[in-house]
Structure 1
Amino acid sequence: MLFFTRKPNTIQLQWLVWVFVFFIVLFSLLPMDGPGQSSVFALINTIFYAVIIYGNILWLFPRLYQKGHIVIYIISVIILLLFTGLLRAYISMFIYNAFFAMGHPTQMKAGPIISFVIAGVLIFMLSFIFRIALAYFKLKQQSEEIIAQKTQAELNLLKSQVQPHFLFNTLNNIYYEAYLESPRTAGLIERLSDIMRYFVDESPKQEVSLATEIQFLENYIALENIRIRYDVYITFTKDCDVALSLPPMLLMTFVENIFKHGIDKSSSYNKVELSLVQQNGRLQFTTINTIPDKPINAPSTGFGIQNLRKRLVLLYNSDFELHVENKDDIYVAQLNIPLA
């Protein structure tokens, strides 16, 4: 497995930086020391640079400074720089005396310790630049990932559009075939195609025209009717400007509840009244249906009405009215919303 991918991540980038630092220090020491001694001390210096930088950006700065403990942060930085300076001087002196002194060991002096501490201060200042560079690289990487995800989402959207359109074309072909044999069946296929097109093209929109919503309801009613043995007596009054717009699927819950809970499939008498009335800048949708003799779950207690109420709150805050009630053997539902 290759260590570096086509685009290195933050870990790989940091390794690249430290390898680069190591070779910079190595080449700066080579004119004075041999390759072996230069390599060892270049490695020691690089390790201590990393300790100071990561000790600040990963531990002290986020845990102390960013949490408001500024005095403790300053004290901790001083301790870190003194400790790393002393330790670096001791290790460097020990390794030099053990492997490179050639019988002439040197004693620990204040000069090298001070120079190491001062160098540590400079590295500490560079740690903030290092931190900013890492943050920039991470932000750039996240931006590229977001762009890639957006591109993938657009591709998935195109794919999702191709599949429904293939289905619509197939339904159209079936419609023409069915029209020759059974015009009524062809009409139902056409309504099904319109409903599916509504879900794909219209329902994701913020608003749809009232005409589109009405057509959707009528298509749904026509398809539900074929599942019922006896005809349902349905009247749909529309006293409104169909060019107006409203959020999609607001009216569907009432109609769906009628066919789920308000139709007795074994009865020859089911009556449903629907009305859309526009008045004073508001739209009122009312449904009235007979209640079957057998026990049913009232729509007012169903999840459909509860979810509709939550959606209305998000859309209109408190500027809406939603009422459902039983009146003897009649179930009435009313929705009143403002028109844009």
Structure 2
Amino acid sequence: MKSILTPPQIQFSGTNPSIKWVNDKMKPFIARPILILIIPWVVYPLLDLASTYYFKLDSSGIPFALITTLIGFCCSCIYFFWLFPSAFYSKRPLIVIALSLVTISFLSVLKYFLFLLVGIEPHPPLDFAAYEFMRQWVFIAITFTFWGFYALIKALQEKRKTDASFDRLRIVHNKAQLSPHFTLNLIGDISAKSLKYSPELFEDLNHFITILRYAYIDTEKFNSLSSEVEAILSYLHGQKLRFQGAIIIRDKIDRDLLHYEELYMPKLLLITLLENVFKHGVFQDPKYPVLIEAKMIYCKNSIPILHFSTQNKFNEGLKLAKSEFGIETVRNLLDYFFENATLTTNVTQDTFSLNLTLPYEKPKQTWPNR
């Protein structure tokens, strides 16, 4: 039993709904961090004004409040953009820290003379310096709280990008080339059939060329939905050729998807889900045919939504070592490229089913270049 003093583990990936919600809400603030500082320096004078009015406290006037707020905001900017990042991330922070402290001191002196300029009688210089010193500690505490939250969300975003890039690299190295064993078997079957020329051989060669062309697509470049679907069809054709037609499949893949050349699909994403059927499932039992469906529907606002599903009997006797590659990897990629996509799985007594819903919110999305 874990101690109550042991902090719980946190799933920092985009599949954590709480982390994802905070990350989505913070996007405009992360893109423009100055907005994070504006929040406390707008709330602070408003609360001060409300408390002064409600409790009928003595007030130093609007000029005093404006100057204090302006100088305080400038000090927070120095802490936020210079001092804290340099102290935590720079290898030689002393120079930046020293410049920051000099600038803060200059702002305090400027504040003193601004009070004199607008007719406000400040405290004696030594008392003013003491008050400013204490006030700066308050500024540091407030600014550090907001900077720490900003740094955490920024780190989560960078981790999501790193995870997505790592998953794509793992696809290239672990799954790319579509599995050498499968490719070699396919080449062997085609070579054997090449002894006799026929239209059937021509079709086999076309599918083989399609697979090779798809295998060499750079994962950093644009891969269309039509290319992914075309590769799936060729992959299924190759599996039928490999097992001499002994596999039982109900293909409900809409061929109209071959015309969606402007919609993006990360390479090997759909084909990875399909390959899991042949890796973990039973596909030669007439009582349990493999069901594969892919189609595009349009919602009321004309947004195209891709529906992809598979269903198969799973092989209970097959024991495979966990490679940490599969559906969870696909989930991370979907969360990075398609934030509104849903991927659900269901396991009954002997059947595994998978459903993917992927909305294309923009007609010409090019995620690899974002």
* TM tier, smaller: 0.3 to 0.5
> What is the TM-score with the length of structure 2 in the denominator?
0.39
> What is the TM-score with the length of structure 1 in the denominator?
0.42
- Greater RCO, CA 8 A, separation 6+: 2
Q: Tell me which structure has the larger Cα radius of gyration.
A: 1
